[in-house]
Structure 1
Amino acid sequence: MNIPDTTERAPGEPGTRSSNAEAAPSALPARMLTWQGADGGRLESARVLISGRRLRALGQIIVAGTDVAPAVTVSYELHLDDRGGVRRLLVHSVTAEEERHLSISHSHEGIWLVDRGDNLTAGEQRVERTELDGAVDIDLAGSALFATMPINRLGLRAEAGAHDVPMAFVSLPDLAVEPVRRRYELVRADDTATVVALTSGGNTVEVVVDADGFSLDHPGLARRI
């Protein structure tokens, strides 16, 4: 029996079909990116495929336990739409005590659909419809990949400017979702790297990204290895 392949891919990835192949941007070769946390206790690795502003990423974050926080393993699947905003994110968080799941999707009308699965705390609804303060981006706690996603969407590697960006913040390990604001401002750019000042909660760091907008060095968070 033939089982159809329902895996979702970015345009141009082997296995995709398009009724207008000439109009779809060519996908770049898939990349494997790995970051080590600034404290040495966190590792993130992701396979990313980009096509224009679309992106598909499959990643994992492993956080070592401490005296005040549990060890956590997180897997995620991220899809960006043709405008560079989040279309869908699936997250699975595992600690020694529990597993939690989150599915969050965003429509072009600006509505987020947040599905927390079956692992709910008191007072939580399984599915919530929300605007999340107008966010189109997501920041996943501890992730070097997610923190730089607005840079490409805003064109900061090509145009100077500062942007106050509403984002949906997903915390770990509970996968709670709340609106936050970040400020992104281009510091300098050349053919090899771009430096962007990122302000969050009154703290500003200068993040270095490569030619594709992926983090090379995020002070206090992670460095690419």
Structure 2
Amino acid sequence: MPASRVITWEVTASGGYETAWAEFGGDGLRARGRAVGTVPEPYWITYELLTGDAYVTRRLTVTAEDASGSRSLDLRHDGRGGWTADGERVDALDGALDCDLGLCPLTNTMPVLRHGLHRAPGEREFLMAWVSVPGLGVEPSRQTYTHLGPRRVRYASGDFRSDLTFDDDGCVVDYPRLARRVAPAESRPPRGTEAPDGV
């Protein structure tokens, strides 16, 4: 039976928010999301993500809009290691299994779940199909994920490092320097009843 999740993050890196509606079934994921940002300028994006077995990306479609207008991307993986962007083959992505949508915490989920890195020791290096936001450019990105402890994984790419916290389902809870999950309204105290600082 597929498990459905709705997750909202405050994306500090973009000065905005993202909400993802995700369905997990077997070892696959189907999701759609919306995000709004204000850095470097106001923009919004919508996306749909589909993976195959072992959480390998099959298709990512994204639409973005900012002051310069709207643009879209249709990124596809053929299941054998080849990728196309809007129908044009991208040889530099050969061998990649995952997409990585810029500033999107959801796309950290696939490699972590595939290898159980939020639960068990290990370190893996990946080639990702990285998508810039809001420009929607596509380029290869080398990334390393390292298990640090239960639900804690270090992400590294180039000179960037961040120690991420995941939940048991492999979804990001806290991504220092990028995003933090917003608690559902029912789990937050009513406005005006919060304990004062220091209590």
- Cα distance in 2 for residues equivalent to 1:140 and 1:174: 11
Alpha-carbon displacement from aligned partner over 1:3-31 (angstroms, at most 9, x marks no partner): xxxxxxxxxxxxxxxxxxxxxxx311x11
Structure 2: which amino acid aligns with 1:171?
A: S
State yes or no: 1:177 paired with 2:134. no
TM-score after normalising by structure 1? 0.77
* Residue among 79, 82, 98 paired with 1:108: 79
Gaps of 5+ in 1: 1-25, 116-125
- Cα distance in 1 for residues equivalent to 2:160 and 2:94: 21
Relative to its length, the structure with more helix (as a share) is 2
| Native 8 Å contact 1:133 1:179 kept in 2 | no
Tell me: CA distance 1:199–1:40, structure 2 relative to 1, closer, same or farther (3 Å).
Answer: closer
Determine which structure has greater relative contact order: mean sequence separation of CA pairs < 8 Å that are 6+ residues apart, divided by chain length: 2
- Cα distance in 2 for residues equivalent to 1:52 and 1:83: 9
Greater than 3 Å deviation, 4+ residue runs = none
Task: Please report how far the alpha carbon of residue 129 of structure 1 lies from its aligned counterpart in structure 2 after TM superposition.
Answer: 4.3
- Cα distance in 2 for residues equivalent to 1:224 and 1:158: 20
TM-score after normalising by structure 2? 0.86
- Cα distance in 2 for residues equivalent to 1:31 and 1:102: 25
- Cα distance in 2 for residues equivalent to 1:60 and 1:102: 15
Query: How do residues 12-27 of structure 1 correspond to structure 2 at under 5 angstroms?
Result: 26-27=1-2
- Cα distance in 2 for residues equivalent to 1:144 and 1:73: 16
Alpha-carbon displacement from aligned partner over 1:140-197 (angstroms, at most 9, x marks no partner): 11111113321001221343111111101100222110001111010001xxxx0001
Say how many residue pairs are matched. 182
1:32 alignment counterpart: 6
| Native 8 Å contact 1:38 1:219 kept in 2 | no
State yes or no: 1:145 paired with 2:120. no
* Residue among 15, 22, 27 paired with 1:48: 22
The alignment's C-alpha RMSD in Å is 1.5
2:65 alignment counterpart: 94
- Cα distance in 1 for residues equivalent to 2:120 and 2:94: 25
- Cα distance in 2 for residues equivalent to 1:202 and 1:114: 27
| Native 8 Å contact 1:92 1:100 kept in 2 | yes
Q: Secondary structure at the match of 2:112?
A: helix
- Cα distance in 2 for residues equivalent to 1:181 and 1:204: 13
Relative to its length, the structure with more strand (as a share) is 2
- Cα distance in 2 for residues equivalent to 1:128 and 1:178: 12
Q: Secondary structure at the match of 1:211?
A: coil
1:186 alignment counterpart: 147
- Cα distance in 1 for residues equivalent to 2:136 and 2:18: 17
Task: Please report how far the alpha carbon of residue 50 of structure 1 lies from its aligned counterpart in structure 2 after TM superposition.
Answer: 0.4
